[in-house]
Chains A and B, each alone.
Chain A
Amino acid sequence: MKFTNAAAVSAVALASVLALAACSGDGARSSGTPNAGTSADAAADYSSLSGTITAGGSSAQANVQQAWTTAFTAQAGNVKINYDKSQGSGGGVTNWLNGSYDFAGTDAALSADQFTKAQTTCGSDGGVNIPVYLSGVSIIFKLDGVKKLNLDAKTIASIFAGTITQWNDPAITALNKGVTLPSTPISVVHRSDGSGTTNNFTTYLHQQAPAVWTWDAGTAWPNNVGSGQQGGSGVVNTVEAGNGTIGYADQSSIGDATAAAIEVGETGTFVEYSEAAATESLAQSGTIAPQGEGDLTVDIDTTKITDATAYPIPLLSYDVLCRSFKDADQGKITAAYLGFVVSKTGQEIGAKNADAAPLPHSYLAKAAETLASVK
């Protein structure tokens, strides 16, 4: 499709951000404003589209989907996009499998079982996972007098497994030379609701510190350590309100909370989160392992992250859709929207408005290729 053409896309980049700022979502009127002239010809593809995209799922994608929707509908005035974040990943996939969604946002790629079920929903071509949103899991803490903290996987696992209970534990002080740590007890804060963030975090612990973290990775918090809070915001609030507290959250939701620097493997280098470091993280740890034609399921092995430019705990979220839609027009607008999402522009908008990290270029190219084949 034309809009994935690199030249056109980079031309749209500035214009769409301008259009976003100028008209904040009112797409119909933006074409009338004089400074939208540049975007009008570059976005000719979009303006001819019309219809309604019904989608939902992952709440981690809520902010970024809103940013994408606003930017996309600014150029495609006749397209409406409804993304229901209240469903969560599980609900999104369920609704997509029973045919009520054009695409679903999910923090975990379709399982083999769901992938097979998708052939009932989509016909023999089945569905595809498209990675769209990249961020990192931040380890946030609040400890009076301490503004910087270094942690490694084994220590994090021990803290969240409840075996390290004081801030001046030798394991922590060894990683933080020159910092005086108080004997304050550690209060662990985790999610009480099922969550893709928990899944990504426990996957990391499971891969990096299997001797300490004996539980499997999963969306539900596995042990009875610490305080469970509802939602990423609940964790952040509780960590912020306490003293000696530590928790984990999607980077984009931590606000002003202080995040620890995480050691890359056992290299002795500690990396703080940055968008570039998250992009690098996926580039190093991810392998595309297609479950079917065009599918972009990513296997993430965090032990492969060895470079000091990469943040050790990536968080990746997908959109899933059918490869052939029953209604061709519906397929066209859905593929167009998701094509916009995985375009350079789309990823920049995500970074600017929702603290997302841009996906590595190789992923974007593959995603564009798959979406171009959607009918």
Chain B
Amino acid sequence: MRPSDRIFRVLSTGSAGLIMVILAGVALFLIIKAGPAIVANWSANPDLAGGTTHGYTSFWSYVGPLVWGTLFSSLIALVLGAPVAIGIALFISHYAPRRLAGVLGYLVDLLAAVPSVVFGLWGIFVIRPFIIPFQDWLNHYLGWIPLFSGQVSQTGSTMLAGGLVLAVMILPIITSISREIFLQTPKLHEEAALALGSTRWEMVKLAVFPYARSGILSATLLGLGRALGETMAIAMIISPALLFSVRILTDTGNSQTIAANAALNFPESNPLQRDALIATGLALFVISFGVNFIARWIISRTGGSRRLRKAGSR
């Protein structure tokens, strides 16, 4: 037993160490490659005068709109996707007949296996034409809200179309984590709520949600992480522009995301422009790190009280 124990210990410690090394390696790569583009003189350097970096005075003026676009598109995806995902999870855990729940859970997990290029094509050929009349309606009646203002798109390649597809793409991760958490709700809590005369919805409100709150939050933030880095679907569907905009129904007012911008411009870029794109990647790395950090922090804060409640119920 002893040698095998030792071998297993070494293997698992090695795996844990490896992930740290990989992460540090990626960070180091990003920083080293990004350096030249960040310190370059953007208004004078001939390598940055053409193509995607044309007309910017510094790296920060280039990356600013991209950071905004990345956050904004992910936010739209979350607003559209998270409630549905949580609804599906709740249906699977508390409403659906057992057999249906199994099938449904399996189907949602299957969504995660669809390649993003397929989602992109689906967005182009199905979602875009489908939402054009809906966009016209929103723009006509609610155009006074900045979100829905502007010249409405006739092609459908809008932030709304991209956000919708992105929302579908983050469904599986939010659903499957929320579902597991809902299923762990202590039976005693639920039965107590029902015994007090609660309807099923009141039971969910009283027993399930408070118990699962931090779990839902961490699931949502993991979904956000997925949305932040999504590249192909966004690149294929949305008509991008490098600007700060909240419009979601136009062709010309969709803030570009970091990942899609890098994918679209990498092939035609010269070495320094590639460094600039990698530098925007560094910004994305920092954002993702920040999101995960906040998620951990929230979970550690609320997770503590959950453990207390859990202990009390036993």
- Contact call B155/A245, Cβ cutoff below 8 A: yes
B179 contacts the other chain (CB 8 A): no
- Contact call B51/A219, Cβ cutoff below 8 A: yes
Contact of B155 among A94, A193, A222, A241 (CB under 8 A): A241
Chain B residues within an 8 Å CB radius of A88 = 266-268
B287 contacts the other chain (CB 8 A): no
B163 contacts the other chain (CB 8 A): no
Interface residues contributed by chain B, number (CB under 8 Å): 32
Interface hub of B46, B153, B155, B263 (most chain A Cβ within 10 A): B155
- Contact call B264/A194, Cβ cutoff below 8 A: yes
16 A-B residue pairs with CB within 8 Å:
A86-B267, A192-B235, A193-B235, A193-B264, A193-B265, A194-B51, A216-B50, A219-B50, A220-B50, A220-B52, A224-B241, A227-B155, A229-B239, A238-B124, A241-B128, A241-B129
Q: How does the 8 Å CB contact mask read for A95-119 relative to B, with 1 for contact and 0 for none?
A: 0000000000000000001000000
Q: How does the 8 Å CB contact mask read for A218-255 relative to B, with 1 for contact and 0 for none?
A: 11101011111110001001100111110000000000
Chain A residues within an 8 Å CB radius of B267 = 59, 86-91, 193-194
Contact of A230 among B264, B268, B273 (CB under 8 A): B264
- Contact call A224/B252, Cβ cutoff below 8 A: yes
Q: A220-B50, A227-B251, A242-B155 are in contact. Are A91 and B266 (CB under 8 A)?
A: yes
- Contact call B265/A227, Cβ cutoff below 8 A: no
- Contact call A218/B154, Cβ cutoff below 8 A: no
- Which residues in A have some Cβ–Cβ distance to B below 8 Å? 59, 86-91, 94, 113, 185, 187, 189, 192-196, 216, 218-220, 222, 224-230, 234, 237-238, 241-245
User: A-B contact count, CB below 8 Å?
Assistant: 103
- Contact call B157/A218, Cβ cutoff below 8 A: no
- Contact call B268/A194, Cβ cutoff below 8 A: yes
- Contact call A244/B265, Cβ cutoff below 8 A: no
How far in angstroms is the closest Cβ of chain A from B68?
Answer: 16
State in angstroms the CA–CA spacing of A238 and B161 once bound together.
14
- Contact call B251/A234, Cβ cutoff below 8 A: no
- Contact call B241/A189, Cβ cutoff below 8 A: no
How far in angstroms is the closest Cβ of chain A from B280?
Answer: 15
State in angstroms the CA–CA spacing of A229 and B266 once bound together.
15
- Contact call A220/B265, Cβ cutoff below 8 A: yes
- Contact call B252/A226, Cβ cutoff below 8 A: yes
In the A-B complex, the 7 residue pairs with the closest CB atoms? A88-B267, A194-B268, A193-B264, A227-B251, A227-B239, A187-B154, A228-B239
Q: How does the 8 Å CB contact mask read for B253-274 relative to A, with 1 for contact and 0 for none?
A: 0000000000111111111011
How far in angstroms is the closest Cβ of chain A from B81?
Answer: 23
Q: A192-B235, A196-B268, A230-B235 are in contact. Are A220 and B153 (CB under 8 A)?
A: no
